[in-house]
Amino acid sequence: MIRIPFNRPFAAGNGLDYVRTAIAASKFSGDGPFTAECHRLLERSLGVQKALLTTSCTHALEMAALLLNLGPGDEVIVPAFTFPSALNAFVLRSARPVFVDVRADTLNIDEAQIDQRITEHTKAIFLVHYAGVGCEMEVIMAIARRHSIAVVEDNAHGLYGKYRNQYLGTFGGLATLSFHETKNFTCGEGGALLINDAQFNERAEILREKGTDRSRFFRGEIDKYNWIDVGSSYLPSDLLAAFLRAQLEHRDQIQSRRREIWETYARELTSWAEANGVRLPNVPPECEQAYHMFYVIMPSFETRQALISHLAGFGILAVFHYLPLHLSPMGERFGGRRGDCPVTEDLSDRLLRFPFFTGMTSSEQSQIVDAVRAFRC
Ligand SMILES: Cc1ncc(COP(=O)(O)O)c(C=O)c1O
């Protein structure tokens, strides 16, 4: 029986009061006052010129693919170690993924391998800041500028992480956030599109509202709304935004507790890791991480599986993460072959994530640490 789950969603402060207020205001659909407040909180705290809540990070990525007009014949650079959402976003538009391996130290896209994968068909780089630790954005943005290609930051893990003192999600023309229940800030299912390039503002509102200019209509700027572009329904209910507002308002409480949990794992497991040939996460000095997850790299696939079973014996759920996307059935359809991305193939087999959630008690963490320390590779 699992006693310590991998994740337990955290209900911050007055989230339920806000939901009650939203219900009392009889505003259940999207773009009500709580959504506006979340937009304001994200824009002010990150310094982005426009944030739009979405129903998920996946949908924000789909909006990015639409905004960039990705289509048949276009190629998009992606890390082989990421979640399928970024790929679905542009594959749905008939663009093709071009897989790039990740760096062994951060598991982020290896910026040194991007240039050689760029062709005349390359339209964009969709990157992920894995575990909320920033990619090498200085190099990546320089490559993108040199080739005039767009950068979309999938920042599902990294809200409030920084690279060279600048918030993740503020580098590319577009960036996305996730508020799924496993993320630092959550409303169950949700996300946001961050727009750093104002040329996308107007069309983003239209795509998000079923291809109509209804947002302008609701603001009283026009007297009727019409179908003027493609689009879908990407806006979440204001009830979800009400819950999310409380989370965003508790940023300091949430992030400082997560930092404590992360630092406790790192401190308490250092000797065990050294003695057993296990690698702890690496955060380069130019990065301030977002404290999204704590993972270890085990010496082998077998020891990783054995540690999962060992912890399960203590009622603790530890999980692996992404399978190499170029070797997935879909990835193979795009030409992915074993050996294309050796670092991804190796680390994906050996990575293990420990339970990590804001409401974890000290006693729960001690039990996890003790159980891990009792394991020998
Ligand atoms: C890097 C990354 N991007 C996107 C997603 C999808 O997020 P959502 O569930 O909000 O669509 C995930 C899911 O965990 C993820 O890890």
- What is the Å distance from ligand 1's center to 249 Cα? 22
82 lines ligand 1 (CB under 6 A): yes
Q: How far apart are CA 18 and CA 24, in angstroms?
A: 10
- What is the Å distance from ligand 1's center to 105 Cα? 22
**Burial class of residue 104 (count of CB atoms within 10 Å of its CB; 0-12, 13-18, 19+):** middle
- What is the Å distance from ligand 1's center to 265 Cα? 24
Range 182-221 burial, b when 16+ CB lie within 10 A, else e = bbbbbbebbbbbbbbeeebeebbbbbbbbbbbbbeeeeee
180 lines ligand 1 (CB under 6 A): yes
Please report the atom of ligand 1 found closest to the CA of residue 180. 10
235 lines ligand 1 (CB under 6 A): no
**Alpha-carbon 107 to chain mean position:** 14
124 lines ligand 1 (CB under 6 A): no
To 5 degrees, how large is the angle CA 328–CA 334–CA 336?
55
128 lines ligand 1 (CB under 6 A): yes
Q: Which of 78, 106, 127, 180 to mutate to test the pocket of ligand 1 (most atoms within 8 A of CB)?
A: 180
Please tell me the number of Cα atoms within 13 Å of 332 on its side-chain side.
6
Nearest to 62 by CA among 232, 223, 212, 198: 232
pTM over 0.85: yes
318 lines ligand 1 (CB under 6 A): no
365 lines ligand 1 (CB under 6 A): no
Nearest to 373 by CA among 345, 357, 349, 354: 354
78 lines ligand 1 (CB under 6 A): no
Each residue's pLDDT, cut to its tens digit, for the chain (377 residues) gives 899 999 999 988 899 999 999 999 998 999 999 999 999 999 999 999 999 999 999 999 999 999 999 999 999 999 999 999 999 999 999 999 999 999 999 999 999 999 999 999 999 999 999 999 999 999 999 999 999 999 999 999 999 999 999 999 999 999 999 999 999 999 999 999 999 999 999 999 999 999 999 999 999 999 999 999 999 999 999 999 999 999 999 999 999 999 999 999 999 999 999 999 999 999 999 999 999 999 999 999 999 999 999 999 999 999 999 999 999 999 999 999 999 999 999 999 999 999 999 999 999 999 999 999 999 99
Task: Enumerate residues 6+ apart whose C-beta is below 8 A from 345.
Answer: 324, 327, 338, 339
Atom 8 in ligand 1: residue holding the nearest Cα: 57
Residue 27's pLDDT is what?
Answer: 86
